[in-house]
């Protein structure tokens, strides 16, 4: 197979401080070198260049840690760069190029650069380029140091990552992520469009109604103007005569009011006297009722107590009868148990006596047997010693000299071993203390990290929720701003004027009144009613801008508008509120709204003489009584202010009242402005909250990363400390074992020397014939003693069993007897208690009966007294009611007179005000004509037959009921309808887009699932096959935790080595786990061979035979895949076609440039490990290493 990775260039990455370029000329390449020289850093460089972003996978804490940080001989570098060259003749990469060059560069500032064939690219582009090849992020074709064990120990969901890369569904996952992002964006856009549509739909209905009423309003207004002109002349003549008649009638009413008030006061005094008497009697009756009620309650309690005593007597009698019956049964049981106890005691005494007689005989038999056993053993020893005496005498002499020499050597070695043991103990104690400290620190750091991780997830969810709310509020604000900028809710003339300003046809500043005011929600109706059509007035800084705008309106025939030039506007002085403000008066309208200071004159002109009162009733009361809460002369009718209520009722200075409510909600400028202010406030609050949440989230994430880094650092330190502790423990064990072995050997030698001396001291040889005869005699006697002792022990065991059984039965009978006797004593105590309680109940019954009879007599007396008081109260109450009724009738008559006087006063004031209003109205409507009547009598009026007042009122009511009507509502309604149609089309397009994206997601999931399932089944079969080949039998399988949802399921690994049952990986030995992982890796490469496979010390846990198998499979794999393996194993190194030697000098990794071909004479007896040492001893690094044509031979196979 053609080489895939042809060259590697590394500069400034980790320990590669100098620029290093490696050319790969073969398909099976071994990276060799001593520990810590940077072999794994070369693998990290390849992984980093392929787009890896996880610092944990790169064995670092921060991204910039991969940059060379300096050493004794080299200064720190500011940049790390790795370049990889891939052969793409077969187009295994989706680029139209014969060679693909990947370069990644990182600066210490954190900035990075990436190129594909010298073209700037993103890391995502690199990841997508290698997706599905096994070389992408988390790919199965690159196995780092310890990653095999991490894969076996990983969660089932983490194992699925390799299978996804094997199935090549990373592309589908990226497509699905992009589709989900597009779907979320489309849904957010759809939400904003729907918000705008809802707002516009809400505005369209009022516009449609206004357009329909515009024509009717114009006709009624013309008709009303004609009728009111005819009425004005007649009403002015009527008002003066009506005022004089009202004053005369009021004087007559005041006299009648004085007489009625005096009579009413006399009747009230009589009613009050009788009422006091009734109150006194009520108090006395209430006291008596309380006493009577307490007496009745006491009687009921006594009756209940008597009933309870009767029930208790009956219960006690039944209980005494039951106890009497139980006593007979218990006495019979007591007699039976006492007889059983006497019988068992006699049997127990007999058995114990027999056992006591047997014990002396048993003791004698044992002593006899022991004596004969000792004699036999002593005789055997003498006999065997005699046998050895002849053969060992000369040998003992030679051994004695050797033992003395060895004892001398051990005595000289003991001090050295004790010193070594003391040093090992100190090192072990220090390492163990350090390990415990780091373990505690790691536990605390992991707990802190877990807590921060939980908080971080909660904050992430909160920030996401608030950002969604922020997006919705932003869309709502944009919709309202668009509506307000378009002039929606204003008259057509205002909209045309503002459009002309925006298009540059008019120069200057123009502000609709409705757009400058900020109104509290509770005053919305009041201010709208007070402004009326003036809400469409335009405020300009100067009169020149107003004149220019009027000329433009005339020229374009765009309608009529009222302008308020701030430089010439002179509003009437605002009245001053009285110090004691009346109830219900909220203040002047101009003081209750908010606006910029430059608009002071315009606001005072419109709202400076409008008083806001809470209710219509309060407004009418202050208006009628003339109690105006400000310093305004009451005699001047024109000085009266307008009044407006919170419900929108408007009271003119003349007394005319406008009120009611439209059937639909209004959507003018003020309503839109209010909605926009509310939406902006909500948006601002949401933005502030999002900023706070994001700041807290970033701070928490920084804490989270700090905790993660600290945890990883502590984990590495703990691993190093554990290694040191294990080494110290091993050294301690070895030293202790050596010392113990020495002491044991010396003791043994001393004992042997003493024995030899004792044997040599004997100068005679025993007679073997005599010893044999004595042995036979003792053997026969020993057998007889054994038989006698066995018979006595059997008799002893029988007696002991009989004693134990009898004792157990005796104990049981005694317990039952005690229980029966205890029940009898308890029964007697209960009978005595029942008798005492019965006597107490009899005494209590007599006492309660006497108390109840006395109480019934008191109740009868209280009831009689209460009846007497009730009769006396009824008499006084009747007289009091008669006088009260008389006073009430007089009061009603007086109230009628007062109401009539108030009505006449109100009518007089209205007449006076009406006269002024009609005069002002005439001058306003017909300024070119004088007032036709000025105080003339009715008969002097030029109009003798006025128009029908009912017709005038009917037209006025119709106009008032219609409220404000925009004459250009039809045009605005058509424009709004067209905009709704456009947005509806946009919404339909977005819905279609969402549906298409949903179908795309469904299709992606279907294809990804199909590919995953096919690959999974192939991987299962290949895994089982590779497992059987490596283990020479057995069975292995891959199992999904959720077969119905494979894309989200975890992967379980089960293995059954030959001769064992199937079990999870956690129960396998370390070697079996390593071999199983190797089988899984080979299976993945068989199912989907990757063009390149990078392995970092995956053979470290394999023993000799399994390493040979692994090396064999590596050679087979190299036939279809280029393999780059980091290894320390000489067997694996031997099968490589090319070596890359790495050494370290002064903290800098260097490439050993050349592996010479060794002659046959040189390889005789030379193993691969020595060849690797030869690699590291080369003096001068050369950028390009040369391949080795043949692997070195080895004596170790």
Please write the tens of the pLDDT for every residue from 1027-1065: 888 888 888 888 888 888 787 788 888 888 887 877 667
Q: Quickly state the pLDDT bin for 1172 (edges 50, 70, 90).
A: very low
- 646-667, pLDDT tens digit by residue? 888 888 887 788 887 654 444 4
Instruction: Give me the architecture of the 1-141+1090-1197 domain, per CATH.
Output: 3-Layer(aba) Sandwich (3.40)
In this predicted structure, what is the pLDDT of residue 1196?
33
What local confidence, expressed as pLDDT, does residue 1168 receive? 44
Query: How is residue 635 annotated by DSSP?
Result: T
Per-residue pLDDT band at 937 (split at 50, 70, 90)? very low
Angle (CA) 804-806-811 rounded to 5° is 95
In terms of DSSP bridges, do strands 1138-1145 and 28-32 run parallel, antiparallel, or are they unpaired? Answer: parallel
Quickly count: other Cβ atoms within 10 Å of residue 907's Cβ. Answer: 18
Give the contacts of 897 (CB within 8 A, at least 6 positions apart): 253, 256, 257, 260
Q: Is 43 exposed, middle or buried (0-12, 13-18, 19+ CB in 10 A)?
A: buried
Determine the distance from the C-alpha atom of residue 1111 to the mean position of all C-alpha atoms in its chain, rounded to a whole number: 50
Which DSSP symbol is given to 1096? Answer: E
Query: What does the pLDDT read at residue 113?
Result: 92
Question: Out of 144-158, 421-435, 442-456, 869-883, which region has the weakest mean confidence (pLDDT)?
Answer: 144-158
Residue, of 317 and 26, whose pLDDT is higher? 26
Give the residue, 82 or 639, on which the prediction is more confident.
Answer: 82
- Give the model confidence (pLDDT) of 393-416 as tens digits: 667 677 778 877 888 888 888 888
Task: Name the range with the highest mean pLDDT among 11-15, 866-870, 958-962, 995-999.
Answer: 11-15
Reported residue count of the chain is: 1197
The per-residue pLDDT for range 1086-1118, each reduced to its tens digit, is 887 888 999 888 888 787 778 888 888 888 888
How confident is the model at residue 1071, as a pLDDT?
74
Residue 935, pLDDT score: 47
Q: Say which DSSP state 932 is in.
A: S
Q: Quick one: pLDDT at residue 662?
A: 59
**Residue 610: φ, ψ to 5°:** -120, 125
Q: Which secondary structure element, helix H or strand E, spans residue 2, and what is its range?
A: none
Q: Average the pLDDT over 530-542 and give the result.
A: 87
Higher pLDDT, 1187 or 556: 556
In this prediction, what percent of the chain has a pLDDT beyond 90? 7
Higher pLDDT pick, 1109 / 490: 1109
Of residues 398 and 816, more confidently modeled = 816
Distances (CA, A) of 1071 to 149, 1023, 1124: 11, 17, 23
SS (H, E, C) 974-1036: HHHHHHHHHHHHHHHHHHHHHHHHHHHHHHHHHHHHHHHHHHHHHHHHHHHHHHHHHHCCCEE
Lowest mean pLDDT of 101-105, 210-214, 297-301, 1007-1011, name the range.
210-214
- Are 184 and 155 spatial neighbours (Cβ–Cβ below 8 Å)? no
Q: Which two tokens stand for residue 745?
A: 């050997």
944: confidence class by pLDDT, cuts 50, 70, 90: low
SS3 1138: strand
Structure tokens at 931: 């007032």
The burial of 1019, by beta-carbon neighbours within 10 Å (0-12 exposed, 13-18 middle, 19 or more buried), is given as buried
Contact 1094, 141 (CB under 8 A): yes
The radius of gyration of the chain from alpha carbons, rounded to an integer in Å, stands at: 57
**Most confident region among 52-56, 434-438, 665-669, 903-907 by mean pLDDT:** 434-438
Q: Residue by residue, what is the 3-state secondary structure of 461-515?
A: HHHHHHHHHHHHHHHHHHHHHHHHHCCCCCCHHHHHHHHHHHHCCCCCCCEEHHH
- pLDDT band per the 50, 70, 90 thresholds, residue 46: very high
Please give the Cα distance from 656 to 962 (Å, whole number).
17
pLDDT tens for 1113-1132 read: 888 888 888 999 999 888 88
1052 phi/psi in degrees, rounded to 5:
-100, 145
First to last CA, the chain: 27
- Calculate mean pLDDT across residues 768-782: 76
Ordered strands of the 538-540 beta sheet:
511-512, 538-540, 563-565
Backbone angles phi, psi at 477, to 5 degrees: -65, -40
Closest C-alpha to 851, from 439, 306, 426: 306
CA distance 1119 to 1115: 7
What is the full DSSP assignment across 1102-1130? --HHHHHHHHHHHHHHTTTSEEEEE---H
Q: Please choose, from the candidates 1059, 1067, 1061, 1066, the residue with its C-alpha nearest in 3D space to the C-alpha of residue 1031.
A: 1059
Lowest mean pLDDT among 603-607, 748-752, 889-893, 1156-1160: 1156-1160
Dihedral sign for Cα atoms in the order 896, 902, 904, 907: negative
Work out the average pLDDT over 317-335.
79
pLDDT of 898 strictly over 80: yes
pLDDT above 70 (res 75): yes
Position 81 scores a pLDDT of 95
Note the pLDDT of residue 633.
41
Nearest to 635 by CA among 907, 902, 909, 917: 909
Domain residue ranges of the chain, discontinuous segments joined by +: 1-141+1090-1197, 521-554+562-575+587-652
What percent of the chain is predicted at pLDDT more than 70?
86
The pLDDT tens digits of the residues spanning 575-624 come to: 766 544 556 888 898 888 988 989 988 898 888 889 899 888 888 887 77
Chain centre to alpha carbon of residue 981: 42
pLDDT at 1179: 39
Q: 581 by DSSP, 3-state: which?
A: coil
Query: Whole-number mean pLDDT of the chain?
Result: 79
């Amino acid at each position: 197979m053609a080489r895939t990775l042809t060259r590697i260039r590394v500069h400034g990455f980790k320990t590669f401080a100098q620029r290093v370029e490696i050319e790969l000329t073969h398909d099976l390449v071994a990276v060799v070198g001593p520990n810590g020289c940077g072999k794994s850093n070369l693998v990290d460089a390849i992984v980093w260049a392929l787009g890896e972003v996880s610092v944990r996978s790169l064995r670092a804490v921060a991204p910039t840690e991969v940059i060379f940080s300096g050493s004794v001989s080299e200064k720190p570098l500011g940049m790390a760069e790795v370049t990889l060259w891939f052969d793409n003749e077969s187009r295994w990469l989706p680029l139209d190029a014969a060679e693909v060059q990947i370069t990644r560069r990182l600066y210490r500032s954190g900035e990075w650069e990436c190129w594909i064939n010298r073209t700037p690219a993103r890391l995502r582009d690199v990841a997508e380029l290698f997706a599905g090849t096994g070389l992408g992020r988390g790919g199965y074709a690159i196995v780092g140091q310890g990653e095999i064990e991490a894969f076996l120990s990983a969660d089932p969901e983490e194992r699925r990552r390799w299978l996804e890369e094997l199935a090549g569904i990373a592309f589908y996952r990226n497509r699905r992520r992009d589709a989900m992002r597009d779907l979320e964006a489309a849904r957010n856009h759809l939400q904003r469009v729907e918000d705008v549509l809802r707002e516009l739909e809400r505005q369209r209905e009022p516009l449609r109604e206004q357009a329909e009423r515009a024509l009717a309003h114009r006709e009624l207004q013309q008709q009303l103007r004609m009728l009111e002109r005819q009425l004005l002349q007649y009403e002015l003549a009527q008002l003066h005569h009506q005022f004089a008649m009202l004053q005369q009638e009021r004087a007559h009413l005041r006299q009648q009011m004085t007489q009625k008030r005096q009579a009413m006061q006399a009747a009230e005094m009589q009613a009050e006297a009788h009422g006091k008497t009734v109150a006194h009697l009520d108090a006395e009756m209430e006291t008596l009722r309380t006493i009577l009620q307490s007496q009745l309650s006491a009687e009921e309690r006594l009756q209940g107590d008597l009933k309870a005593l009767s029930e208790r007597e009956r219960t006690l009698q039944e209980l005494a009868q039951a106890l009497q019956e139980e006593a007979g049964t218990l006495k019979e049981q007591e007699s039976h148990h006492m007889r059983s106890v006497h019988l068992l005691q006699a049997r127990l005494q007999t058995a114990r006596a027999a056992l006591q007689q047997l014990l002396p005989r048993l003791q004698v038999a044992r002593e006899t047997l022991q004596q004969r056993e000792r004699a036999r053993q002593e005789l055997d020893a003498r006999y065997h010693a005699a046998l050895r005496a002849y053969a060992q005498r000369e040998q003992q002499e030679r051994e004695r000299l050797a033992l003395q020499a060895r004892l001398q050597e051990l005595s000289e070695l003991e001090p050295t071993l004790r010193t070594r043991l003391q040093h090992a103990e100190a090192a072990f104690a220090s390492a163990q203390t350090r390990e415990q400290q780091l373990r505690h620190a790691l536990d605390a750091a992991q707990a802190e990290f877990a807590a921060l991780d939980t908080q971080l997830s909660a904050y992430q969810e909160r920030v996401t929720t608030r950002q969604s709310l922020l997006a919705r509020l932003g869309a709502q604000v944009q919709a309202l701003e668009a509506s307000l900028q378009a002039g929606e809710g204003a008259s057509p003339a205002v909209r045309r004027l503002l459009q002309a300003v925006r298009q540059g046809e008019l120069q200057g500043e123009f502000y609709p009144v409705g757009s400058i005011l900020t109104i509290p929600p509770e005053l919305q109706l009041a201010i709208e009613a007070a402004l009326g059509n003036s809400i469409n007035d335009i405020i300009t800084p100067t009169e020149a801008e107003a004149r220019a705008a009027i000329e433009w309106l005339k020229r374009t025939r765009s309608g009529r508008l009222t302008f308020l030039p701030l430089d010439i506007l002179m509003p009437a002085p605002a009245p001053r509120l009285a110090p004691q403000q009346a109830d219900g008066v909220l203040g002047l309208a101009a003081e209750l709204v908010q606006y910029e200071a430059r608009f002071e004159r315009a606001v005072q002109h419109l709202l400076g003489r409008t008083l806001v009162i809470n209710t219509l009733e309060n407004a009418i009361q202050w208006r009628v009584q003339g109690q105006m809460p400000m310093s305004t002369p009451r005699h001047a009718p024109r000085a009266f202010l307008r009044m407006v209520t919170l419900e929108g009722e408007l009271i003119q200075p003349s007394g005319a009242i406008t009120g009611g409510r439209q059937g639909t909600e209004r959507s003018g400028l003020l309503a839109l402005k209010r909605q926009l202010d509310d939406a902006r406030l909500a948006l601002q609050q949401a933005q502030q909250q999002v900023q706070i949440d994001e700041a807290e989230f970033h701070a928490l994430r920084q804490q989270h990363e700090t905790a993660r880094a600290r945890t990883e650092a502590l984990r590495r330190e703990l691993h190093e400390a554990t290694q040191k502790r294990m080494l110290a423990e091993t050294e301690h064990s070895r030293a202790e074992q050596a010392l113990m072995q020495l002491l044991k050997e010396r003791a043994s030698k001393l004992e042997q020397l003493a024995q030899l001396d004792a044997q040599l001291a004997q100068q005679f040889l025993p007679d073997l014939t005599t010893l044999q005869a004595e042995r036979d005699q003792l053997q026969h006697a020993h057998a007889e003693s054994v038989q006698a002792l066995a018979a006595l022990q059997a008799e002893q065991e029988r007696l002991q069993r009989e004693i134990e059984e009898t004792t157990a039965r005796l104990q049981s009978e005694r317990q039952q007897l005690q229980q029966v006797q205890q029940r009898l004593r308890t029964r007697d105590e209960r009978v005595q208690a029942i008798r005492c309680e019965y006597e107490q109940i009899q005494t209590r019954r007599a006492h309660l009966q006497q108390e109840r009879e006395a109480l019934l007599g008191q109740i009868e007396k209280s009831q009689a007294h209460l009846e007497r008081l009730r009769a006396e109260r009824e008499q006084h109450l009747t007289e009091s009611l008669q006088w009260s009724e008389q006073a009430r009738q007089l009061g009603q008559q007086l109230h009628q007179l007062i109401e009539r006087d108030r009505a006449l006063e109100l009518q007089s004031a209205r007449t006076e005000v009406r006269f002024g209003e009609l005069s002002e109205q005439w001058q306003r409507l017909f300024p070119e004509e004088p007032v036709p009547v000025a105080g003339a009598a009715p008969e002097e009026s030029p109009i003798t037959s006025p128009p029908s007042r009912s017709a005038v009122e009917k037209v006025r009511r119709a106009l008032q009921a219609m409220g404000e009507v925009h004459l250009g509502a039809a045009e605005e309604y058509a424009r709004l309808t067209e905009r709704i149609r456009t947005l509806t089309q946009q919404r339909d397009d977005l819905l279609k887009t969402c549906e298409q994206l949903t179908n795309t997601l469904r299709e992606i999931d279907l294809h990804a699932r199909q590919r995953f399932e096919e690959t999974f089944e192939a991987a299962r079969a290949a895994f089982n096959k590779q497992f059987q080949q490596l283990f020479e039998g057995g069975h292995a399988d891959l199992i999904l935790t959720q077969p119905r949802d494979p894309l989200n399921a975890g992967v379980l690994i089960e293995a059954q080595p030959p001769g064992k049952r199937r079990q999870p990986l956690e129960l396998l030995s370390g070697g079996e786990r390593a071999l199983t992982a190797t089988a899984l890796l080979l299976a993945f490469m068989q199912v989907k061979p990757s063009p390149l496979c990078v392995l970092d010390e995956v053979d470290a846990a394999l023993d000799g035979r399994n390493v040979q198998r692994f090396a064999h499979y590596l050679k087979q794999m190299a036939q279809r895949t280029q393999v780059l393996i980091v290894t320390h194993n000489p067997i694996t190194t031997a099968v490589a076609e090319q070596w890359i030697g790495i050494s370290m000098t002064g903290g800098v990794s260097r490439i050993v440039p050349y592996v010479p071909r060794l002659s046959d004479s040189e390889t005789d007896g030379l193993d691969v490990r020595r060849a690797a040492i030869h690699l590291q001893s080369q003096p001068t690094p050369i950028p390009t290493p040369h391949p080795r044509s043949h692997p070195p031979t080895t004596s170790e196979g």
